[in-house]
Structure 1
Amino acid sequence: MTFSGNVNTLRYDDRAPKTPQSFHPAFTEASPRQTSLLGEQRWPQLAVQLFAEPACIELTNLLPPSQLRLMLLLSGTTNMQVRSNGHTLSYISRPGTVKLTTPHHQPYEMQWAALTPAPIRTAHLYLPPTLLARTAETAGLNPARVEVAEGCNIPDPLLYQLSYTLAQEVAATPGPESLFAESATQLLAAQLLRRHCAFSHVLPDRRGKLTPAQLQRVRDYVQAHLGVVIRLENLAELVFLSSYHFCRVFKRTTGLTPNQFLINERMVRATELLRNSDLSVKQVAATVGYSSHAHFTQLYARHTGQLPVSITRQRPA
């Protein structure tokens, strides 16, 4: 799958008419003069891009994205104006809401101006439209009735928090957990189906749990592959479930998401190696699947309350 990226915010039309006086930014010091890419991460069903935006842009002609796009403000407050199909929408944009745009959107015009001194930081998440159709199909719904309802300033705390957490992971680590990203992507797709489709969908709540044998099969696979990337679909295939249903059933069975379970298993193995082997902290990190020593140290301290080096110091001489 090819993601086109956020070319729109990088290509402003210099021929756009001048901005009205009311849209001049209240604060411009230390503000970027053009959009700059701060970070980017891509997975098979999701791409996340982080941007530093100008404090003010004049009325700009934009084309719809090639993928379903969720855009959220991470910091700053702006006075926004969007014009499309002869209609104008003006609103105050703050962190906490989401803007949804689809490939079916008509070309539109947009302008904004900062209302506070905080830097304008945005996150853009791209999902293929086929993801929603597949999620609907595996949930027993009609995939032909999947059409996302676009909107600006959408107050959906779950959709925002999922998107914000993914953006924070991209900003904080060089390579966020693939399993976490895939699980979060499935949750995004489910929430879009439940709350943001032109046709209402009620996802079935299947109360089943994994059998002890199925759970053991998953645990054995995870323990045998701690040093490599573990994908959500690999775990789901072990118990003959779709990725969507596996996430729900696994959480109901264990009380943990698949990503939380994977991190716990890696931390347990790491502790064993730190105490009982001659491997350095960096080598232990690589053995349990972390290419970044710093990321491993941060995760280990968060989950155990100790630094990895404090464990190695306790090794018998």
Structure 2
Amino acid sequence: MLQYMPSEHLALPPGLGMQDVVLQLFKHRSIAEPVLVPAVAEPLLVMVLAGSAIVEERSMGGDWESAEVRVGDFYLTSTALPYEMRWRTRGGDSFEVMHLYLTHSLVDLAAHDVLGGQAATVSFLDVSGGRDELVHMLAEQLRLELVGQRDRSPLFARSLAQALTVHLIRTYRDPQATAQRSNALQAYKLRRVVNLMNERLAEDFSLSDLAEAAQLSDYHFSRLLKRATGLSPSLYFIRLRMARARQLLLETEHSVIDIGMEVGYSSPSHFSQVFRREVGVTPSAYRNSEQR
């Protein structure tokens, strides 16, 4: 998610880590341009920690749906399709959120405990701007244990994560969904591939190198990445290039030509053509409109 959020990623204490949960903290400012959020390979819980905002979401090509969120509200998703988001802060210039990724092993353990012999691959209902005091309490206690305690207890943190996951399965399990995890790229391989792509934005696209990093054939890698993100590897790579180009246009004074070269386009006209196709305006027009 770090490659997608145009926000400040808040530093976490050194040595923070859990086998079953990945935690990230973000400080968001208002954005008008939608952010493309990829499909998640693991269930994701997003909790509002501070501030409030109007958050809008839509499926690709769909209509915008909005919700006003405040401290304690949460989002839950395990969607197999990418979607778009944008937000406008209320009563201040930023709001803070926590992202919790729950591993499949943790979900499977909780599902077996709750469902017993009926346990199968669990998928969750999508929740946008929901409010659940138990979710809030458990997620906040998990955050405090991992971030606020000097003498962190992995046992206590794991117990909180298990309790949270059990409650999510009891309350927000989608009984109609039949998840097919084997049909999407695993989370750790997706992270490895995205990191490699970001390291090589200035280089030519290489499907074989990415497939090798994922330890898959070119064909199977392409198929599984598209199931996980909704995009082919080459288009995903282009979107990452354009995201980096937008960042450089807004945050630096580098020329459009230099920015194009930094994201792999030696021809200014080719860079402008791709940027306009993906963003809707030329690089120069984008920089000028966003700096007004």
* Aligned residue in 2 for 1:44: 19
Is the contact made by 1:145 and 1:199 (CA closer than 8 Å) also made in structure 2?
Answer: no
* Aligned residue in 2 for 1:7: 2
* Aligned residue in 2 for 1:146: 122
* Aligned residue in 2 for 1:186: 162
Partner of residue 159 from structure 1, selected from 118, 135, 138? 135
Per-residue CA deviations over 1:146-195 (Å, capped at 9, x if unaligned) read 22111211111101211122223333235621111110011011101110
Question: When you count helix as a share of all residues, which structure comes out higher?
Answer: 2
* Aligned residue in 2 for 1:63: 38
* Aligned residue in 2 for 1:199: 175
Per-residue CA deviations over 1:185-240 (Å, capped at 9, x if unaligned) read 1101110111000129xxxxxxxxxxxxxxxxxxxxxxxxxxxxxxxxxxxxxxxx
Per-residue CA deviations over 1:6-52 (Å, capped at 9, x if unaligned) read 32544x5xxxxxxxxxxxxxxxxxxxxx3223326321111211222
Q: CA RMSD in A?
A: 2.2
Change (3 A) 1:172 1:9: farther
Instruction: State the alpha-carbon separation in 2 of the partners of residues 90 and 121 from structure 1.
Output: 18
Instruction: State the alpha-carbon separation in 2 of the partners of residues 121 and 136 from structure 1.
Output: 30
Change (3 A) 1:174 1:89: farther
AA partner of residue 128 (structure 2): C
AA partner of residue 108 (structure 1): Y
**Superposed displacement of residue 57, structure 1:** 5.0
**Superposed displacement of residue 83, structure 1:** 0.8
Instruction: State the alpha-carbon separation in 2 of the partners of residues 180 and 118 from structure 1.
Output: 35
* Aligned residue in 2 for 1:114: 89
1:1-317 alignment, distance < 5 Å: 6-10=1-5, 12=6, 34-39=7-12, 41-56=16-31, 58-85=33-60, 86-102=62-78, 104-117=79-92, 119-139=94-114, 140-144=116-120, 146-174=122-150, 176-199=152-175
For structure 1, the residue ranges without an aligned partner over 5 or more in a row are 1-5, 13-33, 201-317
Change (3 A) 1:88 1:162: same
**Superposed displacement of residue 124, structure 1:** 0.6
AA partner of residue 195 (structure 1): T
AA partner of residue 52 (structure 1): K
AA partner of residue 114 (structure 1): T
**Superposed displacement of residue 89, structure 1:** 1.3
Aligned length: 172
**Greater alpha carbon shift after TM alignment, 171-180 vs 146-155:** 171-180
For structure 2, the residue ranges without an aligned partner over 5 or more in a row are 177-292
The runs of at least 4 consecutive aligned structure 1 residues that moved more than 3 Å come to: none
Per-residue CA deviations over 1:75-112 (Å, capped at 9, x if unaligned) read 0110110011524210101112210111x331111000
Change (3 A) 1:193 1:127: same
Instruction: State the alpha-carbon separation in 2 of the partners of residues 120 and 157 from structure 1.
Output: 20
AA partner of residue 49 (structure 1): Q
Structure scoring higher RCO (CA < 8 A, sep ≥ 6) equals 2
Q: TM-score, normalised by structure 1?
A: 0.50
Question: What SS is found at the alignment partner of 1:167?
Answer: helix
**Superposed displacement of residue 144, structure 1:** 1.5
